[in-house]
C-alpha cells in the first residue's frame, strides 16, 4: 500500500510540472528496436509496379489477451509468386515493461495473405476483441479465442469480400447491441487487368486510380450467432463508382445515430447520413465535403474527426495526395462543412506531402486535440519529374493552440519525428500506461516504427474505457462528455479512422492543469445515460453500462 501511494504521488508530481516557455514539452523517441519490434512489411515488389503494392499496410492496437495492456498487430502482404519466404502478419504481446514479445506463431494469424487493412471490435459480445483484416485475395474475420489465439471464421460468418478492401470499421448502425461491419473497397484490379502507366513515357510507373473502374464498398449486418448479412444495396451504400480508401464513423448531426464518412481516391467523398431505419442517404455534396476547394475530387485517403475547437460539433480531417494539402472541414452545423485548411498552417505545411494515415489525438494532454499525419509517396521515382516531391516523407504534427488554430511542431518534438519514411497506417495508444499517447507507424515495404511519447504526461489526464451491457460490449458509439475547471470536452468510442488501421478504443482526455474531472456523462447507443462526479485525474477507469465506474490503476 505504501509503495502504491508513493507511486501515485510521484505520478501526480510529474504531471504537475509545467513548461514556462510555452513550447510543447514533449518529444517522441523511436523505441522500435528496444521494444522488440522487428516487423518489416513485404509489398511483394518485383518491378512489375502492381497497384496494390503502393497501399499496404495497416496496424492495430488491440488487447489481444485481455490483460488490460494494448498489444500490437501489424498487417503484412506477400510475394506475388512464391520466392521461398513466408510473409505473415505479426502479433506482439505487451510485456508491461516497455517491451513486446512476438507471439505470431500459433496465434492463428500466421497464414499468408495479401493483407492491407485491419479493424478491431468484439462482434459477438463475449468480452474479447476480434479482428477483421482486408486482403486483396479475400478478407478475413478472426474470432478471438482467448489468450492471444484467434480462429479464422470467415467462411461460416457470411462475409465474402474479395473486392480490394482497404479500410474497415465496426459500428452498430441500427443500435441493436451488435456490431456491424463497413468495408471500404478500392477499385477493380487483378494482375491480368493491370495497366501500363508511365511518369516519363518510357519506364512503367504505378497507375493512379483514374485508370481503373470503381467498386462498391460493403455493409454487413450482424445477425448474431457469428453470422452476417450483406445489406449494402438495401442500405443505400451500393454506389459502384466509389474508390474508397478511408472511413470514419461520425455522428455529424448529433442525432445519436452513427453516420459514415468515406474518402474516395479521385472520386467525390461520401457522407452517408443514418436514416434510423437501416438505410443511409448520401449528403457529401450538400455538406461541402465531396470535392476540394477547386471543385475537383481529390486523392483522399486517411480520415478522422474531433471537436478540436470545443464547439460541440465533430470536424473532419482528410489526408490527400501531394500538391493537394490536407482537408480540415469545420462543421458549421445544419449539415454544412467549410474547409479551414487553405488559409491555415495545416494547409500550407502539408501541401507537398502525400498523406495516408491521419488522426486527431491530444499528444500534450492540454485538452485540445492535435493532428498527426503519416506521409509517403506511391512512386519511388517521383523526384525525377517533380523535384519538390520526395518518395520518403517525414510525418507531420500540428499542435492545437486554440481558436481553431494549429502550429506545425513537427521539427520540435525530437529527431525521430523528422525521419522520412513511406508511411501508410498510423495509430495511437498508451502502450506503457504512463498516461500520454504513443504512436506507431506502418511503413510500406519497410520496417514498422514505434515512437514513445516522452513528456506528454506533464499535464493531467483521464483515460476512459467503456464496457457495454445493453449496448455492444466495446461501447462503440458511446459518447463520453467530461467537464473540468478548464472547460468541456467530448469524444465518441469508435472503430476505424486513420488509414487501414485501428487505434486504442479507450478514450484519453487531456486535462492540462486540472486535477479533477467535475463530471463525466456517457450516452450509450442503447439510450442509457450515466453521470459521475468528482473523478481524480491521472488514472485509467472503466465505465460499465450497468455497474458504473470500475477504477483501475494508473500504471
Q: What is the pLDDT of residues 323-337, one digit of tens each?
A: 999 999 999 999 999
Whole-angstrom distance, CA of residue 241 vs CA of residue 255: 29
Three-state DSSP class for 224?
Answer: strand
Q: Classify strands 396-402 and 405-408 as parallel, antiparallel or unpaired.
A: antiparallel
pLDDT tens digit sequence for 133-147: 999 999 999 999 999
Band of residue 131 on the pLDDT scale cut at 50, 70, 90: very high
Three-state DSSP class for 160?
Answer: coil
**Cα 211 to the center of its chain, rounded Å:** 28
Q: Is the pLDDT of residue 319 over 70?
A: yes
Whole-angstrom distance, CA of residue 555 vs CA of residue 552: 9
Cβ-proximal residues to 240 (8 Å cutoff; 6+ apart), any chain: 213, 214, 215, 216
Whole-angstrom distance, CA of residue 144 vs CA of residue 112: 19
Instruction: Give the pLDDT confidence score for residue 391 in this predicted structure.
Output: 97
Whole-angstrom distance, CA of residue 328 vs CA of residue 317: 5
Q: What is the mean predicted confidence (pLDDT) over 428-433?
A: 98
Cis peptide before 57 (omega within 30 of 0): yes
Whether residue 168 contacts residue 184, with contact meaning beta carbons closer than 8 Å, is answered with yes
Q: What is the mean predicted confidence (pLDDT) over 61-83?
A: 96
Instruction: Give the pLDDT confidence score for residue 200 in this predicted structure.
Output: 82
Angle at 296 between CA 290 and CA 302, to 5 degrees: 55
Band of residue 553 on the pLDDT scale cut at 50, 70, 90: low
Instruction: Give the pLDDT confidence score for residue 201 in this predicted structure.
Output: 83
pLDDT tens digit sequence for 144-154: 999 999 999 99
Whether residue 231 contacts residue 280, with contact meaning beta carbons closer than 8 Å, is answered with no
Q: What is the mean predicted confidence (pLDDT) over 66-91?
A: 96
Q: Quote the DSSP letter at residue 208.
A: P
Instruction: Give the pLDDT confidence score for residue 471 in this predicted structure.
Output: 98
H helices present in 478-546, as ranges:
none
Which candidate, 120, 163, 68, places its Cα nearest to that of 497? Answer: 120
Cβ-proximal residues to 405 (8 Å cutoff; 6+ apart), any chain: 344, 345
Whether residue 183 contacts residue 220, with contact meaning beta carbons closer than 8 Å, is answered with yes
Whether residue 163 contacts residue 189, with contact meaning beta carbons closer than 8 Å, is answered with no
Band of residue 25 on the pLDDT scale cut at 50, 70, 90: confident
Q: Is the pLDDT of residue 14 over 50?
A: no
Instruction: Give the pLDDT confidence score for residue 19 in this predicted structure.
Output: 39
Q: Classify strands 539-544 and 460-467 as parallel, antiparallel or unpaired.
A: parallel
Whether residue 445 contacts residue 42, with contact meaning beta carbons closer than 8 Å, is answered with yes
Whole-angstrom distance, CA of residue 127 vs CA of residue 318: 32
Q: What is the mean predicted confidence (pLDDT) over 175-200?
A: 95
Q: Is the pLDDT of residue 314 over 50?
A: yes
- Neighbouring-strand partners of residue 332: none
From the number of C-beta atoms within 10 Å of its C-beta (0-12, 13-18, 19+), residue 401 rates as middle
Whole-angstrom distance, CA of residue 303 vs CA of residue 300: 8
Whether residue 269 contacts residue 300, with contact meaning beta carbons closer than 8 Å, is answered with yes
Mean pLDDT computed over every residue of the chain:
94
Whole-angstrom distance, CA of residue 292 vs CA of residue 509: 31
String of b and e for 519-548 (b: at least 16 CB within 10 Å)? ebbbbbbbeeebeeeebebbbbbbbebeee
String of b and e for 446-467 (b: at least 16 CB within 10 Å)? bbbbbbbbbbbbbbbbbbbbbb
- Neighbouring-strand partners of residue 94: 100
Instruction: Give the pLDDT confidence score for residue 202 in this predicted structure.
Output: 84
Angstrom distances, CA of residue 530 to CA of 86, 125, 171, 362, 447:
49, 21, 21, 25, 44
Instruction: Give the pLDDT confidence score for residue 551 in this predicted structure.
Output: 67
Which candidate, 221, 107, 214, places its Cα nearest to that of 170? Answer: 221
Q: Sort residue 192 into left (φ over 0), alpha (ψ -120 to 50) or beta.
A: alpha
Residue with the three cell numbers 479500410: 167
Q: Is the pLDDT of residue 5 over 50?
A: no
Q: Is the pLDDT of residue 22 over 90?
A: no
Band of residue 199 on the pLDDT scale cut at 50, 70, 90: confident
Whole-angstrom distance, CA of residue 62 vs CA of residue 134: 16
pLDDT tens digit sequence for 259-302: 999 999 999 999 999 999 999 999 999 999 999 988 999 999 99
Return the C-alpha cell found at 344: 491555415
Three-state DSSP class for 152?
Answer: strand
Amino acid at each position: 500500500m505504501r509503495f502504491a501511494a508513493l507511486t501515485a504521488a510521484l505520478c501526480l508530481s510529474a504531471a504537475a510540472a509545467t513548461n514556462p516557455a510555452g513550447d510543447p514539452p514533449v518529444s517522441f523517441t523511436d523505441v522500435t528496436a528496444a521494444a522488440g519490434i522487428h516487423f518489416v512489411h513485404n509489398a511483394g515488389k518485383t518491378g512489375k509496379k502492381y497497384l496494390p503494392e503502393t497501399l499496404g499496410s495497416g496496424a492495430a492496437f488491440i488487447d489481444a489477451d485481455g490483460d488490460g495492456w494494448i498489444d500490437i498487430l501489424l498487417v503484412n502482404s506477400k510475394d506475388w509468386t512464391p520466392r521461398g519466404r513466408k510473409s505473415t502478419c505479426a502479433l506482439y504481446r505487451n510485456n508491461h515493461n516497455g517491451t513486446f514479445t512476438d507471439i505470431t506463431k500459433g496465434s492463428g494469424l500466421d497464414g499468408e495473405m495479401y493483407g492491407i487493412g485491419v479493424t478491431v471490435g468484439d462482434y459477438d459480445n463475449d468480452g474479447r476483441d476480434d479482428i477483421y483484416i482486408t486482403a486483396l485475395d479475400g478478407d478475413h474475420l478472426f474470432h478471438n479465442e482467448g489468450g492471444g489465439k484467434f480462429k479464422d471464421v470467415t467462411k461460416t460468418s457470411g462475409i465474402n469480400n474479395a473486392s480490394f478492401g482497404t479500410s474497415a470499421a465496426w459500428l452498430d448502425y441500427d443500435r441493436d447491441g451488435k456490431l456491424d461491419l463497413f468495408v471500404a473497397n478500392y477499385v477493380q484490379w487483378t494482375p491480368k487487368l493491370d495497366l501500363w502507366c508511365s511518369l516519363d513515357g518510357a519506364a512503367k510507373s504505378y497507375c493512379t486510380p483514374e485508370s481503373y473502374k470503381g467498386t462498391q464498398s460493403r455493409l454487413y449486418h450482424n445477425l448474431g450467432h457469428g453470422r452476417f448479412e450483406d445489406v449494402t444495396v438495401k442500405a443505400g451504400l451500393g454506389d459502384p463508382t466509389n474508390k474508397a480508401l478511408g472511413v470514419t464513423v461520425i455522428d455529424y448531426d448529433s442525432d445519436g445515430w452513427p453516420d459514415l464518412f468515406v474518402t474516395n481516391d479521385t472520386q467525390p467523398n461520401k457522407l452517408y447520413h443514418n436514416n434510423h431505419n437501416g438505410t443511409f442517404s448520401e449528403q457529401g455534396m450538400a455538406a461541402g465535403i465531396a470535392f476540394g476547394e477547386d471543385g475537383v475530387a481529390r486523392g483522399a485517403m486517411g480520415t478522422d474527426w474531433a471537436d478540436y475547437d470545443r464547439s460541440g460539433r465533430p470536424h473532419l480531417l482528410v489526408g490527400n495526395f501531394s500538391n493537394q494539402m490536407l482537408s480540415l472541414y469545420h462543421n458549421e452545423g445544419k449539415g454544412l462543412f467549410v474547409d479551414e485548411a487553405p488559409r491555415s498552417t495545416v494547409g500550407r505545411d502539408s501541401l507537398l506531402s502525400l498523406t495516408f494515415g491521419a488522426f486527431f489525438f491530444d499528444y500534450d494532454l492540454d485538452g485540445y486535440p492535435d493532428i498527426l499525419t503519416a506521409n509517403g509517396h506511391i512512386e519511388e521515382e517521383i523526384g525525377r519529374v517533380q523535384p519538390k516531391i520526395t518518395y520518403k516523407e517525414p510525418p507531420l504534427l500540428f499542435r492545437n493552440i486554440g481558436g481553431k488554430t494549429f502550429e506545425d511542431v513537427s521539427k520540435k518534438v525530437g529527431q525521430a519525428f523528422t525521419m522520412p519514411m513511406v508511411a501508410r497506417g498510423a495509430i495511437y495508444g498508451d502502450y506503457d500506461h504512463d498516461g500520454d499517447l504513443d504512436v506507431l507507424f506502418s511503413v510500406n515495404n519497410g520496417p514498422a516504427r514505434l515512437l514513445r511519447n516522452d513528456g506528454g504526461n506533464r499535464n493531467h489526464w483521464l483515460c476512459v474505457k467503456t464496457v457495454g451491457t445493453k449496448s455492444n460490449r466495446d461501447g462503440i458509439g458511446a459518447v463520453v462528455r467530461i467537464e473540468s475547471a478548464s472547460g468541456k470536452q467530448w469524444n465518441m468510442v469508435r472503430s476505424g479512422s486513420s488509414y487501414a488501421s485501428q487505434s486504442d478504443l479507450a478514450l484519453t482526455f487531456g486535462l492540462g492543469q486540472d486535477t479533477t474531472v467535475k463530471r463525466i456523462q456517457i450516452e450509450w447507443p442503447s439510450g442509457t445515460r450515466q453521470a459521475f462526479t468528482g473523478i481524480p485525474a491521472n488514472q485509467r477507469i472503466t465505465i460499465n453500462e450497468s455497474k458504473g465506474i470500475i477504477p483501475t490503476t494508473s500504471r
